[in-house]
Amino acid sequence: MGISVLFALSLNLITGFCGQISLGHAAFLGIGAYLSAMLCKTGLPFFATLPLAMLLAGFIGVIVGLASLRVRADFLAITTMGVGFLFVGIVRQQDWLGGELGVSGIPDSGLSKIGFMTLTLVLCAATAALCIYIKKSWMGRVFNGVAEDEDTMRVLGIDVPRYKLAAFAIGTALAGLAGALYAQNLKFIGPDSFGFVESITVLSMVVVGGIGSVPGVVFGAAVLSALPAWFQFIGDYKLLVYGGLLFLMMRFSPSGVAGMVSRVFNKGGRA
């Protein structure tokens, strides 16, 4: 659940704050996971792999951002989707990355289960605090302006490409951090763990919680990641349930759970 929250917050920075649609975000989760796993297998301590996973995922995120600067909306979504397919295709063809069989036997971090859970929760809290800080800062205001109307921001003299790249860099770096935790938690990773389905799943968490809302995304990620455990009978129908929730949210509450809560409190205040 904690890893899902961290992963969803990373996508919210790109899609929720800056309005850049990403349908291949799981690729950056995979980049962090594979780098951390392979470095751990060479003997490097787990904690040393965390910043390296963030740096590599963020660097590739900037490259993807550079390639996506000239496209918007649907074309941006298709471009990022292609990145996700490209990552899975490359991993499947590389024997040194485990190919179809994936990477197993990832060395332990040395932390107990409670210790690893505590580390994950601390990183989640730090990421949420960072997101709130960014949202209230000058950068967050520019992100919001870019999401609302890029052309107006350009007229005002804002370097829109620079801020788009910043959103991609920060969001993908955080996804790489989540990936390193994911690999360590499962001790096994494979290409199927970072495909299109996972990208849609994390997008569902952001939409259900409330695009752009930090508390909402935390809630959405926590609930949707826990649903298969709470209701085991939906395990084989997870995508059907997620798809249904997306449809209902976009039809009745496009601003997600956060928007619903806000409207309730506003009505109460006027009353």
Neighbours of 196 (CB within 10 A): 15
110 falls within a domain: yes
49 falls within a domain: yes
For residue 18, the domain's CATH number is: 1.10.3470.10
Neighbours of 1 (CB within 10 A): 16
C-alpha to C-alpha distance for 93 and 241, rounded to whole angstroms: 32
151 falls within a domain: yes
115 falls within a domain: yes
151-166 pLDDT, tens per residue? 889 888 888 889 999 9
**Number of domains the chain is built from:** 1
Domain that holds residue 115: 2-195
pLDDT at position 223:
87
128 falls within a domain: yes
Neighbours of 147 (CB within 10 A): 18
26 falls within a domain: yes
Closest to 57 (Cα-Cα) out of 165, 169, 160: 169
Neighbours of 67 (CB within 10 A): 13
43-95 pLDDT, tens per residue? 999 999 999 999 999 999 999 888 777 777 677 888 888 999 999 999 999 88
29 falls within a domain: yes
